[in-house]
Structure 1
């Protein structure tokens, strides 16, 4: 059963159920699949607690002030205000909050007893078994963007067209290709990457073929997601300072020529970019690549979860590494919290580098002392952290800085908390001694 169908059965807006999952920090994989199929435990909870969910939904849509909420849940006004400020919800000019603040959520954060909710989700899905970790806000943002693909009503009743082109933008290593695959999975399209050699002219079976031929052949298929990397380089705007490669200009013209036919032919093109600032405005015009989705580096909590995932993924319970991890309590999330906090603005790739380095150090120690009781020392963790930090270059930090500027301009209301947290982490590396420097970063680890 799809989440929308369950919402209709319960006479509760789908958006309220989504907000409920986010507010109470429920593990996504225990509630729904990436294609919005409802998990059994969540359906059971929703049906048995329909009265509570309806109250939650009604409250969510009520306009309310800080004083209203504080009086309702019998909590000090300053504590309520602190939580609301941290969430950065939308606010009317008269000081009344829009339908993005739940008094139940605030009550829960201030110690209210909502254990009855978590009792339904007691069996946590192992991190190694999850489709993805964290990123609830990004997942729901993406699925909302893809609604015309998931819900024909939005097309038939409201005339909301399916996007023909989407740009995923974010710093290197943040997982853009992962999310491209995930989008293909969500909408049920076949994933097809446009290789670099497709963009020029090449020989296939002794016959000359080019990018135009590739697009024409692809449009004969149904439900195909085309993924193009280096989108911001290929689609750069021409100017007097920078020249544009003739093959890139030709690629741009071919895509502009055919993109108007993509929706009808059931083609979706995704471009992967580090930044959107230099992309030709003509490419981002309505009906073309007019949907842009930011892909963030993981936050501190997500980093800890990813470290645990990458350290334990694929291991058998009786494997040597798992035994060593268990003897250090490193098979549990708290072990990774401190080192995660040191990985400010680390990309997903850097996290993988860290875990690979640490695994090798653990193995080398084991070869010298073949015991599953060996200690994962602070020195080992710091050494692996140093290895992973080699990609934390001034250039990468500048790309993070540019990403913050991009996402602040294009998606601040959607991701204000993420943006502010990322900026705080980036400021850790900023140079204060020499503010006149053009780069503005030290190469600190």
Structure 2
């Protein structure tokens, strides 16, 4: 019998949050634990049922307040190592020096080399990167899951009065994957996905009076269980200022959405707006009951960049592909090969990583055609040339977008993404311009 994670947690008498944190602490693939529509997989159900006692211990530990010294003593590890992991994972600390909620003694022990092979025995071999639904982002997945709970679990509305969102804003730097996550949301709540084309955003259409945004939205309101994805939401919903040139089409779209937004929940429609930043958006549009669910879409972290490099280099390749043979010669069919490159790709977007792999593939192919051999070395020169090509999008505008995103994610979701935000801040610092030391005009009177 199919069960969602909420039902399953009640059956086990283990908190739902503990199960979610467990999946993250032990780096379990989402697809190995949850189906696309968020039901528990058979493998995870078997593991959890047969190891219920362990999961209860994990659950109890997660609820307990504990100090660094207590954790270190329990797992017989140096306190300095424990503290380093906690600070990287959860930068904030209780005033009394005790941790709880997202700090698991078992999770820390796992990171420091504790043997938990019994967990992985239930899931067989890891799913190949090319066969995964997506790479990394477990924390973002469960954050979105929480935001969508009123759609997934009707009891939230009945028992707690928590209503479904009428609108969601996914925000983040260009190329971070906002449309991917909008489609993932549609999959998670089993809604049909529609992307609103630019041609629909016209207040008047001389060729077809029924092709305006108003008529388009009226037609969509007759459908059921659909997601409407609107790109450039921050530009369309911008707040008017005194000297601003008004875009009549955008104003018409904004007024139409304001007029109809109360109907969205009743008609089982969810609109998702994609924005580079939240600053400048009309405050009324993000008021409660409107687009009040804000989901930050982060650039990939170091580990995710490594996986994405390998994923995009091997994507769609057949087992006997020439490129795959060359990658194997260089041991580039494994993640460790890509870590050094991923470390250089600070604040790179998903798009930049794809650009890098495309550029690298072309260079490898040119070398193969020239030398007619699969024994080609993927040397630092080839990697550096591809890196420079992909880094062309790392403009001042993009870095400013990332800086603004960090500020907004900090204000809205720091408690859930503290480690990502702090890591992104550090990566941004590498691009901060250093002030030039200038010598004062005139003579230095101290010189002899």
The residue that corresponds to 1:133 in the other structure is: 135
Mapped to 1, the partners of 2:436 and 2:118 lie a distance apart of: 55
Match of 1:111 among 110, 113, 116: 113
Mapped to 2, the partners of 1:38 and 1:129 lie a distance apart of: 19
3-state DSSP of counterpart to 1:282: helix
**TM-score after normalising by structure 1:** 0.94
The residue that corresponds to 1:77 in the other structure is: 79
The residue that corresponds to 2:346 in the other structure is: 344
Superposed displacement of residue 192, structure 1: 0.6
The residue that corresponds to 2:389 in the other structure is: 387
The residue that corresponds to 1:356 in the other structure is: 358
Q: Which moved more, 1:92-101 or 1:397-406?
A: 92-101
3-state DSSP of counterpart to 1:225: strand
Mapped to 1, the partners of 2:190 and 2:140 lie a distance apart of: 19
**Deviations along 1:53-85, whole A, 9 cap, x unmatched?**
011111111222333323333333333322222
The residue that corresponds to 1:439 in the other structure is: none
**How is 1:205-220 mapped onto 2 (pairs within 5 angstroms)?**
206-220=208-222
**How is 1:236-275 mapped onto 2 (pairs within 5 angstroms)?**
236-275=238-277
CA RMSD in angstroms comes to: 1.9
Mapped to 2, the partners of 1:117 and 1:225 lie a distance apart of: 37
The residue that corresponds to 2:49 in the other structure is: 47
Superposed displacement of residue 273, structure 1: 0.3
Superposed displacement of residue 242, structure 1: 2.7
Q: 1:149 to 1:434 in 2, by over 3 A?
A: farther
Mapped to 2, the partners of 1:207 and 1:242 lie a distance apart of: 28
**Deviations along 1:267-290, whole A, 9 cap, x unmatched?**
000000000011010111110001
Mapped to 2, the partners of 1:250 and 1:65 lie a distance apart of: 56
**Deviations along 1:290-348, whole A, 9 cap, x unmatched?**
11000001111111111111111111111111111111111111111111111111111
Q: Name structure 2 gaps, 5 residues minimum.
A: 438-448
**TM-score after normalising by structure 2:** 0.93
Q: 1:261 to 1:251 in 2, by over 3 A?
A: same
Q: Are residue 429 (structure 1) and residue 431 (structure 2) matched?
A: yes
Superposed displacement of residue 185, structure 1: 0.5
Superposed displacement of residue 39, structure 1: 2.5
Mapped to 2, the partners of 1:73 and 1:326 lie a distance apart of: 39
3-state DSSP of counterpart to 2:341: helix
Mapped to 2, the partners of 1:244 and 1:129 lie a distance apart of: 47
Q: 1:98 to 1:204 in 2, by over 3 A?
A: farther
Q: Are residue 88 (structure 1) and residue 90 (structure 2) matched?
A: yes
Mapped to 2, the partners of 1:206 and 1:410 lie a distance apart of: 42
Mapped to 2, the partners of 1:132 and 1:242 lie a distance apart of: 41
Q: 1:45 to 1:204 in 2, by over 3 A?
A: farther
The residue that corresponds to 1:410 in the other structure is: 412
Q: Name structure 1 gaps, 5 residues minimum.
A: 436-445
Mapped to 1, the partners of 2:329 and 2:238 lie a distance apart of: 53
Mapped to 1, the partners of 2:391 and 2:77 lie a distance apart of: 44
Mapped to 2, the partners of 1:74 and 1:311 lie a distance apart of: 41
Q: Which moved more, 1:59-68 or 1:216-225?
A: 59-68
Q: Are residue 187 (structure 1) and residue 189 (structure 2) matched?
A: yes
Mapped to 2, the partners of 1:3 and 1:209 lie a distance apart of: 43
The residue that corresponds to 2:17 in the other structure is: 15
Q: Which moved more, 1:296-305 or 1:55-64?
A: 55-64
**Deviations along 1:364-398, whole A, 9 cap, x unmatched?**
11111111222212111111111111111111111
Number of residue equivalences:
436
